[in-house]
Amino acid sequence: MKKEIKILDFKVEAKSAVPVYEQVKQAVKMAIISGYLEENDQLMSIRELGAKLNIHPNTISKVYYQLEMEGFIYSRQGTGYFVKVNPEKFKKEKHELFKKVTREYISKATRLGYSPEEMLDELKNILAEVSPDKQIGKTGRIKGEE
């Protein structure tokens, strides 16, 4: 029985300073690293993903090629592209991706006029909303684990 192809649900920002192919590549990596896409899951075809995102299939082809060279996916002739799970690689990539999004957050918050202390307070508030069972204490650690 053929496994259903999971739909990647993200948008490409045409006006972003980040090139379109890089946005797509990061979104696919995130889906893999986060576990949404699992070992041997089939990716959307080049044409399907291109049509869904309204971008040229050559761009998707470039993304898939780079992800294959980086060891995130593999191809089967005539069948398509599939997820390749490598826990060691993912741990490093996950950390790098976290650092990147954190730097982006800090940069944007700083432009909005937030001080480091205000950013931490806001983060604590948001974490309390998202994970009410994991409250952050004064030391910055999760309560009960301090």
pLDDT tens digit sequence for 110-127: 999 999 999 999 988 888
pLDDT of res. 11: 83
pLDDT at position 139 is 56
Per DSSP, what are the bridge partners of residue 95? none
- Average pLDDT on 13-21 reads 86
Question: What is the pLDDT, as a whole number, of residue 95?
Answer: 87
Tell me the C-alpha distance between 98 and 101, whole Å. 5
- Please tell me the distance from the alpha carbon of residue 42 to that of residue 75, in angstroms, as a whole number: 9
pLDDT at 143 over 80: no
Q: Residue 90 pLDDT > 90, yes or no?
A: no
pLDDT score, position 64: 96
**Alpha-carbon distance values, 3 to 33, 40, 75, 79, 107 (Å):** 20, 10, 16, 13, 41
> In terms of C-beta density within 10 A (0-12 exposed, 13-18 middle, 19 or more buried), how is residue 67 classed?
buried
The pLDDT, as a whole number, for residue 87 is 81
Residue type, 89: K
pLDDT above 70 (res 105): yes
When pLDDT is cut at 50, 70 and 90, the band that residue 25 belongs to is very high
Plot region of 70 (φ>0 → left; ψ -120 to 50 → alpha; else → beta): alpha
In degrees and rounded to multiples of 5, residue 14 shows phi and psi of -65, -30
Q: Answer yes or no: are the C-beta atoms of 82 and 71 closer than 8 Å.
A: no
**Which of the residue ranges 1-5, 52-56, 137-141 would you say has the lowest mean pLDDT?**
137-141
pLDDT at 28: 92
Quote the radius of gyration of the chain (alpha carbons, Å).
19
Does the pTM exceed 0.85? no
| Residue located via tokens 């790098």 | 96
Q: Is the pLDDT of residue 146 over 60?
A: no
